[in-house]
Structure 1
């Protein structure tokens, strides 16, 4: 996928070069080839330098991409209706909470709180797990401006709650940013895709024979989906071409950790992704890695370190398996369009339409709903999965 990208400013290039120097040093320590998962981790999360750790605007029109909450209030109001039954009555119990992972600009938190208040289902606490000081500052500003009267219910976490809690965990477009291992299947066997340095100091792909962890992960994919990776019906890979893709080996331990102390309630995951068989379909031989820079999407994760977002689509069957391993069960799984329709989209639209201040506002509302629901937009590409915890079954 060739895309013309905007030129970074001099300051942006200097920032990117500082992170590139850090990555080059790790590559040298690793003997000239750094596993892609580590490259992705540094590019996104290196303290003070990674994409999500530095201070540039990420979300909305002034950033690099737009998430569902940034489009407006419709998504949050429908999600609030889905969460409300699990939060009602919390004050009479021990107090139920919402824990949001990767809360971005704070827009989803603000709209959820306001709609949950309207539905008489406010949580005792709304907790935002955010490690970036810059994003925390933006979230605080958003929440103070949009729901000042609820601010005493809000706090920030550096890590998942240590003590047992009840309520709902929300993760909107979080799993796609977990570092993934990249692999290539060739006639000669399985290889880990790693990152090296060329003669000019740029980054390039290097392949190394797969280690035991990666080999096991790919064998599990093959066992679950026997037709995965098959090219032309002649076996896994034939000839000079390779089947390239990714697998998130961090998914199961990560999910176990973020839900470990959830004693009663559910975890909701909203992201773009596929079922297992679609993810590793023969036709998808270039993988799912996607990068975002100034609202341009492309597939080269080795450029613009620290400036661009790097994501991989989510394998929702793998998410379900990780949930089962963590003591959770799949309670709901739908496309985003189905989810919104099932959770009051018509009523949310009708109320907002009646309150819209003029034709321009009504048009913007209609455009928002199109982006959220059309198959060619977010409606089919995004999925919503609810993983439920049985009472008292925290790990």
Structure 2
């Protein structure tokens, strides 16, 4: 088997691989290189978000993303308040808060939109990685009027909350199972350790499928609403399964009593996701603003991300007690929340601030670029123990002109 010379195995990973017999599943590999406490890309805080980092997120471009999203979040809180829900405090929960800037900017924007809400809101950040939490603490420490705390889903399930949960670019970073279809058989993709001239390299290897994968294949018709695998696939067709997503929805269902959940992420319809032409799946590696299909290069120093399948994500949510309210592309969602007004307001800014105006305009346009961030999907879900509770999903409505 040919070995990719760029796929060197770092010293810290060699021990993990040897302990597991020299081969691990791709799921385990992805989990290790992203989340290993001492060496993972996320857990060490090695990840850098923003224009000068490894990749840009919508919140990292400017605070305009949060200001637009706050229109929807404030609406949900006001709906909950109007619904006379039995709670003393509403919770704004962000899962995987990144640098913490989205939460900070949301609170600031809500204060502008509905200042009376602030005294009724707490901010809860769900962050598993110590390195990222340390950076978040510095960003949110000066938020005024709102108590901020860190928690995890297990702790929150013991004292469930009422409010709004946001997961922005979170699920795409969940470790995934990679499936390889070859010679009319299906294999679980693994990663193997190879030693050549006293140097260790990583390479892909075929493993037997698990019972869980077999169940996914058996359920594929109802999950995906398409033929799976699709017709006319090549002899080494590879795709992914987000096996942790149903577990996540199950845990989250115990966290929220009444309120909304917004998932914003890379996502595709099943007919586009599980397509014969998409022969290598959706997984991609990011480092220094560059995308790479070499998933074994620079292990622990790159981000790995895979798109969600919309149909299976919605199915997993519904089967775990969530009500699906609808979905939209980010470009459409932001226009419905008033992005055109933001763009129009730039015309009235002082000409002395031309560079600032142009930078802000560029950031706003990047948020809706159909070749980039504008293709993110917003998926809204709701939970409630009151039949009379109505939460308006403004972002699913017609755009504001």
CA drift of 1:300 comes to: 1.8
Q: How many residues matched?
A: 368
Per the normalisation by structure 1, the TM-score is: 0.87
Residue 105 (str. 1) matches residue 115 (str. 2): no
CA drift of 1:176 comes to: 0.3
**SS at 1:358 equivalent:** helix
Aligned counterpart in structure 2 of residue 139 of structure 1, from 136, 139, 144: 136
Structure 2: distance between partners of 1:148 and 1:321: 37
Aligned counterpart in structure 2 of residue 184 of structure 1, from 180, 186, 193: 180
CA drift of 1:385 comes to: 0.4
Structure 2: distance between partners of 1:337 and 1:267: 19
After superposition, the Cα gap between the structure-2 partners of 1:354 and 1:106, relative to the gap in structure 1 and judged at 3 Å, is: farther
Contact 1:169-1:267 at 8 Å conserved across structures: yes
Q: How does 1:337-348 map to 2 (within 5 A)?
A: 337-348=331-342
After superposition, the Cα gap between the structure-2 partners of 1:115 and 1:350, relative to the gap in structure 1 and judged at 3 Å, is: farther
**SS at 1:108 equivalent:** helix
Corresponding residue for residue 27 of structure 1: 17
Corresponding residue for residue 167 of structure 1: 163
Structure 2: distance between partners of 1:275 and 1:307: 30
Corresponding residue for residue 65 of structure 2: 75
Residue 227 (str. 1) matches residue 227 (str. 2): yes
Contact 1:126-1:154 at 8 Å conserved across structures: yes
Query: CA offsets per residue over residues 14-73 of structure 1, 9 Å max, x none?
Result: xx96xx344333333333321111111111111121111113242113321110000112
Q: How does 1:6-85 map to 2 (within 5 A)?
A: 20-85=10-75
Contact 2:35-2:129 at 8 Å conserved across structures: no
Runs of 5+ consecutive residues of structure 1 not aligned to the other structure = 1-6, 8-12
Corresponding residue for residue 393 of structure 2: none
**SS at 2:68 equivalent:** helix
Structure 2: distance between partners of 1:116 and 1:39: 40
After superposition, the Cα gap between the structure-2 partners of 1:331 and 1:226, relative to the gap in structure 1 and judged at 3 Å, is: closer
Query: CA offsets per residue over residues 322-345 of structure 1, 9 Å max, x none?
Result: 110121111120000111011121
Structure 2: distance between partners of 1:95 and 1:210: 46
Structure 1: distance between partners of 2:311 and 2:372: 22
Per the normalisation by structure 2, the TM-score is: 0.85
Structure 1: distance between partners of 2:345 and 2:159: 39
CA drift of 1:388 comes to: 0.6
Query: CA offsets per residue over residues 251-276 of structure 1, 9 Å max, x none?
Result: 10112113312000011000111012
Corresponding residue for residue 354 of structure 2: 359
